[in-house]
Amino acid sequence: MRRFAIGYIIFTVFVLAIDTYVFQAVRTAVRDSSDLTKKITYAVYWGFTIFALLSVYSTIFFQLHDWPKGLRNVMMGSITVVYSAKLFVIVFLLIDDIQRFFRWVFSLFTPAGEGPESIGRAKFLSQAGLLVATFPLVAGLWGVLKGAHDYKIHRVKVKLANLPAAFHGLKIVQLSDIHSGSFPSQEPLKKAISMINAEQPDLIFFTGDLVNNVAEEVLPFVPLFSQMKAKIGKYSVFGNHDYGDYAQWNSAQEKVANLNTLKKAHADMGWRLLWDEHVYLEKDGEKIALIGIQNSSAKNSFKTYGDLDKACLGCEAPVKLLLSHDPSFWDAKIRSKEDIDITFAGHTHGAQLGIEMGGIRWSPAQYIYEQWAGLYQKGKQYIYVNRGFGYLGFPGRVGILPEITVMELEKA
């Protein structure tokens, strides 16, 4: 309890330090305004600070996680967006303070009246900082209100030399990182499921993170997710969030019960959960193999549950497809299995933030994962990293929209 108290004290001091510093820009920007304008501006500014602190405190003291998800998402999203925008203001304030410091140092070595004259930099930089901050502010709010559920279909074709002729044109829809505990309602999901069914896929793959923390998050959505249709079948694996590792449990048995509840949810939705195993997909007397492993990672911050060797044991087929949640495992282990043709992964969310426009592709995720979004090839092997269907933490997406992957396999 003492550790939590210290953490809240540090958080409060941090927030107040940011707001006090940025308040310089606000005060300077409205310096020549009327007294009424100043009072309203100051009241709104510090009122939001109080709102932010109370919202965070409520996560413990008033059980914010039991509040309606829509309200929670708007609250936490607005806090994240506003304080991200304030970081841009701080940059401009630092420029002003640094040049002011050097002016002061210069004045120590020059006679009075011979130092550089002020040209109103303080007000200019304050207003410039506030203006620049409106861009991340508007983008962030758009990401919460629109981007979070603005589903985008990414189409890709992959040619495989060993693909049996019967599977030429095989259409696969991949979803990943649904994070059902973040959705405020079922309404945005109905549109996405309609888009999926309109593709008339042969297969649907889900590559992990159905929930944020606990199995009960997905239960209200089971009837809806079961409406997804695929001609051959629907297959899934677990991601790092699906094991209940980020929740508090009263006993080991309770955690196991949660795991079993989530497994049952997969079955109830018609998803064949692959648990370090493989199955064969047959058509017109020919077959390919589908392998699925539990969450496995090359990152020390994530637990590895999967057993790739076990999943591949005895698997014989001209083409092998693999479902594996974390893309870091591709280079670490999967590529050593040279007969695995395509790996389907997710996990990165594309950081839920970035730019994909024309030839420009950038996201903070690329500094953590070599393969962070889209199709990659090394030698004869491919990996496709889905950008994620849902969201976690920040309840929105800016530039990296929620993805529905449509992949077609063709015989080279």
CA dist., res. 119 & res. 106, Å (int): 16
Q: Which residues contact residue 75 at a Cβ distance below 8 angstroms, ignoring those fewer than 6 apart?
A: 55
> Would you say residue 154 has pLDDT above 90?
yes
pLDDT of residue 300: 85
Which pLDDT score, from 0 to 100, does residue 378 have?
Answer: 96
Tell me the C-alpha distance between 295 and 209, whole Å: 9
317 Cβ contact list (under 8 Å, min separation 6)? 280, 287, 288, 289
Task: Give the mean pLDDT of 358-372.
Answer: 92
Of 53-62, 298-307, 323-332, where does the model show the most confidence?
323-332
The pLDDT tens digits of the residues spanning 285-299 come to 999 999 999 999 999
Confidence of residue 64 (pLDDT cuts 50, 70, 90): very low
Q: What is the pLDDT of residues 221-233, one digit of tens each?
A: 999 999 999 999 9
Residues 127-156 have a mean pLDDT of: 79
For 169, 302, 329, the CA distances from 246, given in Å and listed in that order, are 40, 11, 21
Q: What is the pLDDT of residue 47?
A: 81
Task: Say what the pLDDT of residue 282 is.
Answer: 94
Top CATH class, 151-411: alpha beta
The answer to which of 115-124, 147-156, 308-317 has the lowest mean pLDDT is 115-124
Q: Which residue has the higher pLDDT, 41 or 319?
A: 319
Query: What's the rounded mean pLDDT across residues 168-177?
Result: 98
Direct distance between the N- and C-terminal alpha carbons of the chain, in angstroms, rounded to an integer: 62
Q: Decide the pairing of beta strands 320-323 and 374-378.
A: unpaired
In whole angstroms, give the CA distance from residue 391 to residue 18.
27
Would you state the pLDDT for residue 63? Answer: 47
pLDDT tens-digit readout, 47-60 = 877 777 777 666 55
Residue 126 CA to residue 110 CA, distance in Å, equals 28
The distance from CA 322 to its chain's CA centroid, rounded to whole angstroms, is 22
Quote the pLDDT of residue 104: 65
Residue 153 confidence (pLDDT): 98
29 against 244, higher pLDDT:
244
Question: Any idea where the domains of the chain sit in the sequence?
Answer: 2-145, 151-411
**DSSP per position, 240-254:** GGGGSTTS--SSHHH
CA dihedral sign of residues 306, 310, 312, 315: negative
The Cα–Cα gap between 129 and 127 comes to: 5
pLDDT value of residue 128: 63
User: 51-55, 151-155, 260-264, 405-409 — which is least confidently predicted?
Assistant: 51-55
d(CA 380, CA 345): 17
CA dist., res. 80 & res. 395, Å (int)? 9
